[in-house]
A = this chain, B = another copy of it.
Amino acid sequence: MRKDNSTNAINEKYLHNICALNVAIDTIGSRWIAQIVYSISKGFNRFYLLNEELPNISEQVLSRKLNRLEAQNILNKDVLPNTIPIGIQYTLTSKGEDLIPILKSLCEWEKSHG
* A residues adjacent to B (C-beta < 8 A): 10-12, 14-15, 18-25, 27-35, 38, 56-57, 73, 94-95, 98-99, 102-107, 109-113
Chain A interface main SS type = helix
Contact residues in B for A23 (Cβ distance below 8 Å): 110
Contact A109 B113 (CB under 8 A): no
Supply 27 A–B pairs (Cβ within 8 Å), ascending by A: A10-B56, A11-B31, A12-B31, A15-B35, A19-B107, A20-B107, A20-B111, A21-B34, A21-B35, A21-B103, A21-B104, A21-B107, A22-B34, A23-B110, A24-B106, A24-B110, A25-B28, A25-B29, A25-B106, A28-B29, A29-B29, A73-B113, A95-B109, A95-B113, A98-B109, A102-B102, A102-B105
